[in-house]
């Protein structure tokens, strides 16, 4: 069996890189899912031929093809294709051996690792749900279009209206009701509009606005719009700006093509929200109405960390003095939400001493729904059998194995102390050196013409903060090469040899020289060199991260090799004769688009 270190320039990743094939295969899996209509899970696995078995695990031709994509740049691919194929099988064997070993360590019981596995599972199944269920359901069918047309809201209405602005909690509602009753009794709508309408354009036209989509009017008017007749006055509908009264001038149905385009656009714009609503309804999600007032009061009077500290192990508390009791905030089929669940689901953990913004029942609903949406999405995918698809099952298994294996390898090589790292740095001073550095004032623009104008205007000027600010630029004290965007400026240090376009442009310019406009990935830059620093040895603080990374790579690689030697000796590998040679792989001479993908994958595993 070929050793993991023999043919690859990053030996530590030789066995682990193939575990990332679950990620590398997502695009191909997505394309397959989008192209194929839903079918029974068993049919997807019918084309996977077993190439070898490792203990009780199978390696299929799909594994070999994915390994070929990841290791396409290996020198053996061109020099010895047969040995390259055998190496692909060896790497798949190594992956399965390490995955089986990781499973015996019980690392999935660790909450942090379990959370990583759950996150990867959600991302995989959520993607498959969109490809197989949600996106195909966006296109309206003829039957659905008939139902939409029958609702009476996707049609044009020739509308006249009177709006009474009201910012005093409904103080003008009685007046709006009086105007509505006058209009219903036969008073001229245009005369009433010229007297009372607070919308100047329509007041000038006697309230007439023109043709609008019925669905774009006040949602409170939907029921009345469905039943309204031409010439009828309907109201009063209270909205965000005040009270509205409508007069119907006519209806016009949309053409079939227009209705199709409109419904399709609406579904695309609301695709995520519509699915979230449907999955919450499917599993009967509901907030506990008795908890709304308590949660709003607690969030407004206590900090988030003090509330968390007051809760019991079950995430609830009883009332004490002015502090209200907090129980289960929301429920759905087989699940519930408590305050800690709600906080954990927030995009950012609340800082110590801050209060949550919870104002009403709608806020409570949204926060609690966020706490269960991921779990319900996974549950929905499983209920639909999506996790039973062959490629999806494989991806879930490999991603789980990848996370567990990485955790196992990292824990096998605990970080060294500073003395070890300092000895590494001192033993190889030539390795830990900083190249010549250029300190420059950099201004980034989103448009080339703006950068060119600044370049000509700043030729003899000092690039001060006041100059930048006069040009509408903002300072970014944490900017680094490649990370500054248009509209910002910074003083930054660029090293000789950096691949950044700005670093290359500054390399040969003298100090105080203003660069011409430099096109970068983030915009167009104009820079002036402030100073240059000659090459020097790195300080220990500068060298320590690199030394730690190199030490860890070496230690982890040694552990992986030793573990694989032990596992190979005791685990039988049975290869099906002729299957490996029969796997169809891309030619080495073909232009490979997977090389960059495999390189990125290996780098992301560092």
pLDDT, tens digit, 9 for 90 and up, residues 534-556: 999 999 999 999 999 999 989 98
Confidence of residue 45 (pLDDT cuts 50, 70, 90): very low
Q: Using one digit for the tens of pLDDT, what is the confidence trace for 248-304?
A: 999 999 999 999 999 999 999 999 999 999 999 999 999 999 999 999 999 999 999
Q: Determine the pLDDT at residue 415.
A: 86
Q: Within its chain, how far is the Cα of 224 from the centroid? A: 41
List beta partners, residue 533.
Answer: 437
Which residue, chain included where needed, has tokens 């729904």? 369
Tens digit of pLDDT for each residue in 331-383? 999 999 999 999 999 988 888 889 999 999 999 999 999 999 999 999 999 99
pLDDT of residue 587: 62
* pLDDT digit string, tens, across residues 429-445: 888 999 999 999 999 99
DSSP symbols for 529-573: EEEEE--EEPPHHHHHHHHHHHHHHHHHHHHHHHHHHHHHHHS-E
Query: In terms of Cα–Cα distance, which of 203, 237, 193 is closest to 217?
Result: 237
Q: What is the pLDDT of residue 500?
A: 85
Confidence of residue 479 (pLDDT cuts 50, 70, 90): confident
The predicted model gives 242-251 an average pLDDT of 96
Statement: 155-253 belongs to CATH 3.10.50.40? yes
Beta bridge partners of 495: 437
- How far apart CA 416 and CA 413 sit, in angstroms, is 9
Of 223-232, 376-385, 592-601, where does mean pLDDT reach its minimum?
592-601
Q: Which of 407, 415, 441, 409 is nearest to 525 (CA)?
A: 441
Q: Whole-model pTM?
A: 0.72
CATH 3.30.470.20 assigned to domain 433-537? The reply is no
Structure tokens at 19: 């575990």
Q: How far apart are CA 523 and CA 502, in angstroms?
A: 11
Q: Which residue has the higher pLDDT, 16 or 450?
A: 450
pLDDT of residue 18: 46
- Tell me the mean pLDDT in the region 127-146: 93
Beta bridge partners of 489: 443, 475
Label residue 48 by pLDDT band (50, 70, 90). confident
Q: Higher confidence at residue 500 or residue 123?
A: 123
pLDDT category, 47, cuts 50, 70, 90?
low
> Percent of the chain having pLDDT more than 90?
65
Per cent of the chain over pLDDT 70 is 89
Q: What is the mean pLDDT of the chain?
A: 87
Q: Please, how many CA atoms are within 13 Å of residue 432, restricted to the half-sphere of its CB?
A: 22
Mean pLDDT check: name the lowest of 46-50, 146-150, 171-175, 511-515: 46-50
Please name the residues in contact with 534: beta carbons below 8 A apart, sequence gap of 6 or more: 436
- What is the predicted pLDDT for the residue at 167? 79
**Is residue 52 pLDDT above 90, yes or no?**
yes
Q: What is residue 326's three-state secondary structure?
A: strand
Residues in the chain: 606
Q: Would you place residue 55 in the very low, low, confident or very high pLDDT band (cuts 50, 70, 90)?
A: confident
Tokens of 290: 């008795």
Residue ranges, CATH 3.10.50.40, the chain: 155-253, 433-537
pLDDT at 526 over 90: yes
């Amino acid at each position: 069996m070929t050793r993991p270190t023999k043919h690859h320039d990053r030996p530590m990743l030789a066995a682990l890189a193939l575990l990332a094939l679950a990620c590398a295969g997502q695009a191909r899996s997505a394309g397959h899912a989008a192209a194929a209509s839903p079918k029974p899970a068993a049919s997807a696995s019918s084309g996977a031929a077993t190439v070898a078995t490792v203990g009780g695990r199978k390696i299929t031709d799909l594994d070999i093809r994915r390994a070929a994509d990841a290791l396409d740049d290996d020198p053996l691919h061109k020099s010895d294709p047969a040995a390259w194929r055998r190496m692909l099988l060896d790497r798949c064997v190594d992956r399965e051996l390490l995955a089986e070993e990781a499973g015996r360590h019980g690392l999935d019981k660790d909450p942090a690792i379990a959370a990583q596995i759950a996150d990867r599972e959600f991302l995989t199944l959520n993607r498959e749900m969109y490809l197989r269920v949600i996106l195909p359901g966006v296109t309206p069918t003829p039957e659905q279009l008939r139902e939409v047309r029958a609702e009476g809201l996707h049609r044009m209405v020739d509308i006249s209206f009177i709006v009474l602005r009201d910012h005093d909690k409904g103080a003008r509602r009685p007046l709006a009701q009086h105007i509505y009753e006058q209009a219903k009794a036969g008073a001229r709508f245009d005369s009433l509009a010229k007297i009372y309408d607070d919308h100047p354009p329509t007041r000038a036209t006697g309230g007439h606005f023109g043709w609008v989509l019925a669905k774009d009017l006040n949602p409170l008017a939907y029921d009345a719009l469905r039943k309204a007749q031409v010439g009828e006055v309907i109201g009063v509908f209270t909205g965000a700006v005040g009270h509205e009264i409508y007069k119907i001038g006519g209806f016009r149905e949309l053409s079939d093509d227009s209705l199709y385009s409109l419904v399709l656009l609406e579904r695309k714009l609301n695709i995520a929200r519509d699915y979230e609503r449907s999955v919450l309804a499917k599993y009967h999600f509901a907030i506990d109405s008795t908890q709304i007032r308590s949660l709003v009061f607690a969030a407004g009077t206590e900090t988030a960390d003090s509330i968390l500290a007051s809760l019991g192990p079950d995430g609830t508390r009883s009332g004490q003095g002015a502090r209200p009791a907090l129980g289960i905030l929301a429920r759905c089929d087989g699940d519930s939400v408590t305050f800690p669940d709600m906080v954990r689901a927030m995009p950012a953990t609340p800082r110590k001493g801050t209060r949550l913004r919870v104002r009403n029942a709608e806020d409570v609903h949204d926060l609690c729904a966020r706490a269960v949406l991921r779990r319900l999405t996974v549950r929905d995918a499983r209920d639909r059998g999506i996790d039973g698809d062959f490629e999806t099952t494989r991806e879930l298994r490999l991603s789980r194995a990848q996370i567990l294996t990485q955790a196992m390898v990292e824990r096998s090589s605990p970080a060294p102390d500073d003395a070890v790292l300092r000895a590494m740095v001192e033993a190889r001073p030539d390795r830990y050196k900083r190249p010549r550095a250029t300190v420059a004032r950099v201004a980034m623009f989103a448009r080339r013409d703006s950068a060119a104008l600044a370049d000509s205007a700043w030729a003899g000027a000092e690039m001060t903060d006041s100059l930048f600010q006069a040009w509408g630029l903002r300072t970014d004290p944490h900017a680094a090469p490649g990370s500054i965007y248009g509209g910002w400026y910074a003083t930054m240090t660029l090293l000789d040899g950096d691949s950044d376009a700005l670093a290359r442009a500054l390399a040969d310019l003298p100090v105080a020289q203003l660069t011409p406009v430099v096109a970068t990935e983030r915009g167009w830059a104009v820079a002036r060199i402030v100073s240059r620093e000659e090459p020097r040895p790195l300080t220990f603080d500068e060298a320590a991260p690199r030394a730690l990374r190199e030490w860890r790579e070496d230690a982890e690689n040694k552990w992986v090799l030793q573990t694989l030697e032990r596992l190979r000796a005791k685990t039988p590998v049975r290869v099906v004769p002729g299957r490996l040679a029969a796997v169809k792989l891309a030619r080495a001479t073909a232009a490979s688009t997977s090389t960059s993908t495999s390189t990125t994958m290996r780098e992301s595993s560092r």
